[in-house]
Structure 1
């Protein structure tokens, strides 16, 4: 149906179309802002996404006709996303953009074309793929950081609540919490260092021996066993023979260091240890804050629970956003786990101690 023959839209349609128009304009701006902070292929992809959003914008402009009115502002979440994109960029913003694409309401709206519905689904996958690169780069440090912070929050909250519930002096609770902070942070750092170093050493054991590379020019071309190396790595016999002939015919053998993988996702033992120490210590400090500021008894217990609860909700939501999962669900799960562990030790403290004064 041509624009001239199209029936006059209802007020509800005009409101909905104008909202779609504003959101498409805002989302295109987000992708352009993200593109300014990147270069190469990622920049080109983000600009293509912005162009696709502009095409969607034109669809709603055409439907609105003279009802288009003054430009409206996009949804609050889209405006917040744009603010973050202009100032930070990074995987966190891409993860938020991924969730924004997944929330598109076009699938249930007859005024949106089937191509637009498909576009939004594909856009979500494109943004997911871009975000995956960032997730891979940060996964080692992120794992250590999140694990360390949450371990510090939960373990030290459980410790101070359990000790505090026995009715001991506030100073005893404070020193117990600080001791738990230091002991836990050092333990986490040591454990993370050993874990990461062991993982890297295990993977490095699979790197080709440089001496084997140096031996390639001296192999007996008519009766060499180089093909067996490639077969042992999983190649078929024919593919292994072809690869062996290719390597042997090269004027300069490939250097061993060229084949070494980069274990960026794992990180280094030192960086993992430092991040674990820092994040555990920062998490473990929060439950002790009420006693540091002179609170005691039930007031300190409630204050510690509230502070740690807010931190657990925040870290759970961040994990949810970065992993592409619902942030509220992850936040509540984190809160339930932390409070559950703290409640057990608090009840034990009440059972074996006196009362909280």
Structure 2
């Protein structure tokens, strides 16, 4: 009896964009807040800067993901167009090329030739896209999905440090924002590891370390160049 299988590679496109967006939202906004707080700015100014950072960051993430993934999609489209032309010009040569790929993967030449011929008869371009170019439906570029995932998760991630700014007085923001943001990052790393089937400890440690480094450097810059009011 057949049963549907759900593989984690099907999540690669949106999961990568979502983790990148949420991580960047937490780290960049928390770092911005800490840098401004270290310079002696009051809570209202810190909140205003943080909200501006949220809006600008979300739009930047959306635009950056859309442009970069669109470039990948354009490359895939160009490769498929070229492959389609080669199939039309020399189908026999393309079938032999496909058979050679299967031989390298472990099939004997006779079976590889049979498989290549049958796949060419069924969907020649699809077979070459998958086995020669490495383009599949699961891993194909989706610019809009990546842009929305990054912008949305960036906004959610950026809102978390801003919530701390609204709840705590300016005198306590340095410890409150840094501590809570590290906790948020550890949680994000754990959730992404769960979704991707990776090690929770490794993922949480990785995002927490780099987040702590970014916040420490930004706070240091704010304290060095800021003027207490």
Which category of TM-score, normalised to the shorter sequence, fits these structures? 0.7 to 0.9
Partner of 2:106: none
Q: For 1:209-261, what per-residue CA distance to the aligned partner results, in whole angstroms no more than 9, with x for missing partners?
A: 55666x58xxxxxxxx433334555728x87xx57x958xx9xx656665565
- Report SS of the residue matched to 1:206: helix
| Deviation string, structure 1 residues 235-292 (Cα, Å, up to 9, x no partner) | 28x87xx57x958xx9xx6566655654323451111100100001111111111333
Number of aligned positions between the proteins: 215
Q: CA deviation at 1:315?
A: 1.0
Please give the alpha-carbon distance, in whole angstroms, between the structure 2 residues aligned to 1:298 and 1:336.
25
Residue number in structure 2 paired with 1:105? none
Aligned residue in 2 for 1:235: 100
Listed one character per residue, the Cα deviations across residues 176-226 of structure 1 (whole Å, up to 9, x for unaligned) are 11111111111111111112222122223332655666x58xxxxxxxx43
Q: Which moved more, 1:310-319 or 1:142-151?
A: 310-319
Q: 1:170 aligns with which of 32, 35, 43?
A: 43
2:146 to 265, 268, 272: 272
Structure 1: 5+ residue runs without aligned partners? 1-38, 43-129, 217-224
Corresponding position: 1:137 with 2:7: no
Quickly say closer, same or farther: Cα 1:246–1:343, change in 2 above 3 A: closer
| CA pair 255-166 structure 1, distance change in 2 beyond 3 A | same
Give the structure 1 partner of residue 220 of structure 2: 347
- Which of 172, 192, 213 is the equivalent residue of 1:319? 192
Q: Which moved more, 1:256-265 or 1:333-342?
A: 256-265
Which structure has more relative contact order (CA 8 Å, sep 6+)? It is: 2
Query: What SS does structure 2 have at the residue aligned with 1:182?
Result: helix
Return closer, same or farther for 1:194/1:233 CA change in 2, 3 Å cut-off: farther
Q: Deviations over 1:158-177 (max 9, x none)?
A: 11100111012221111111
1:96-245 matches, cutoff 5 A: 133-207=6-80, 225-231=90-96, 235=100
Instruction: Choose 1 or 2 for highest CA Rg.
Output: 1
What is the distance in 2 between the residues matched to 1:246 and 1:289?
61
When residues 235 and 287 of structure 1 are mapped into structure 2, their CA distance, relative to the original with a 3 A threshold, is: same
The aligned residue for residue 338 of structure 1 is: 211
Q: SS of the residue aligned with 2:79?
A: coil
SS in structure 1 of the partner of residue 192 of structure 2:
helix
**TM-score using structure 2 length:** 0.77
| Preserved CA contact (<8 Å) 1:316 1:331 | yes
C-alpha distance in 1, partners of 2:20/2:182?
16
